[in-house]
Amino acid sequence: MEHGATLEPISTTRSLERALRILCGFNHERQSLTLTQLSETIDLPKATVFRLCATLLKYRFLLYDDDSKRYSLGPKLFELGTILWSSLSLRKIASPYLVDLHATISKNLSLAILDDDELLYIDRIQDKRSSSGFGSDIGWRRPSHYGVLGQVLTAFLPDKEVDRLLEKAPLKPLTRKSIVNKRQFKEILRTIREQGFVVEEGTVFEGVTGIGAPIRDSLQNVVAALGVTFISSLEDPAGIKRLTEHVVRAAQAISKELGCRGP
């Protein structure tokens, strides 16, 4: 039996349930299985298992080795698991640093990652003395390039990946200061890579300044961004410089906790 054969479809719900049974058929003792072994393990007909495996292969939930004729779990599961682990452990590790940072600067703080081509907020501290009319709550999703957090996370992606994300979610004007020119946006990303942070005023909300800095893991990969937002009129240039230093130090401290040994 070869992949690509035409077989009659089964109901979507039942297909999903059976596909999940296939994935759950693997464990530490059964890291790779032939079609026959997989069929026997989950007690489904070989034709059904073959059909569902073809779909799981397409979306990289499974791998198939032509030499051994065996299936194994695919890289998509590792990718999703990494995202889950990073978001959960990252928030736990970062939380005390956000609390300390908030106690020091008394501003709105946000922590975000890139997930499924979008900016995902995984933690936030809202300053009680600040306006609640701006910012994003935990669990909210925004375009990948949104605000200083999106810019920080996008800045460290390959150029082709940036192009793909901008094609998927084009730059749009949110205020009169919003950057909508792709070339200018990429110049901002270059500056972020060089200086290790970004400070922008009024590009998402009128009269609101944002500061963002990257958080890195043990492989030096940027896995999250830490940001602060505040009413622009409340801080002078010296105050913004001070806030930037605090944000960058906090991001570096979190990175160190994640195993990053670089700057």
208-237 confidence digits (pLDDT tens): 999 999 999 888 999 999 999 999 998 999
- Residue 122 in this model has a pLDDT that exceeds 70: yes
From residue 181, give the alpha-carbon distance in Å to each of 45, 167, 170, 178, 190. Answer: 55, 13, 10, 9, 14
SS3 19: helix
Mean pLDDT of the chain: 90
Q: What is the pLDDT of residue 130?
A: 60
SS3 198: strand
Round the CA-based radius of gyration of the chain to a whole number and report it. 23
Count the neighbouring beta carbons within 10 Å of the beta carbon of residue 194. Answer: 8
- Say yes or no: domain 12-73 is CATH 1.10.10.10: yes
Counting residues of the chain whose pLDDT is more than 90, the rounded percentage is: 77
- Say yes or no: domain 81-257 is CATH 3.40.1160.10: no
d(CA 216, CA 254): 8
Q: What is the pLDDT of residue 87?
A: 66
Q: What is the pLDDT of residue 6?
A: 44
Q: Point out the least confidently predicted range of 49-53, 112-116, 131-135.
A: 131-135
Q: Is 155 left (phi over 0), alpha (psi -120 to 50) or beta?
A: alpha
Q: Point out the least confidently predicted range of 11-20, 189-198, 203-212.
A: 11-20
Phi and psi angles of residue 225, each rounded to the nearest 5 degrees, phi first: -135, 140
Question: What are the extents of the domains in the chain?
Answer: 12-73, 81-257
- Listed in sequence order, the residues at least 6 apart from 136 whose beta carbon sits closer than 8 Å to its beta carbon are 110, 121, 124, 142
- Residue 182 in this model has a pLDDT that exceeds 60: yes
d(CA 247, CA 239): 12
Average pLDDT over residues 56-81: 92
What is the pTM (predicted TM-score) of this model?
0.68
Q: What is the pLDDT of residue 259?
A: 87
Asked if 46 and 35 count as a contact pair (C-beta separation under 8 A), the reply is yes
Question: Burial code of 11-21, b = ≥16 C-beta within 10 A, e = fewer?
Answer: eeeeeeebbeb
CA 152: distance to chain centroid?
A: 12
- pLDDT band for position 131 (50/70/90)? low
Q: Beginning with the edge strand found earlier in the chain, give each strand of the sheet holding 108-115 in spatial order.
A: 141-143, 118-125, 108-115, 222-231, 208-216, 198-201
Residue among 54, 56, 35 nearest 46 (CA): 35
Q: Point out the least confidently predicted range of 25-29, 135-139, 199-203.
A: 135-139
From residue 129, give the alpha-carbon distance in Å to each of 36, 105, 107, 135. Answer: 64, 12, 8, 14
- pLDDT band for position 2 (50/70/90)? very low
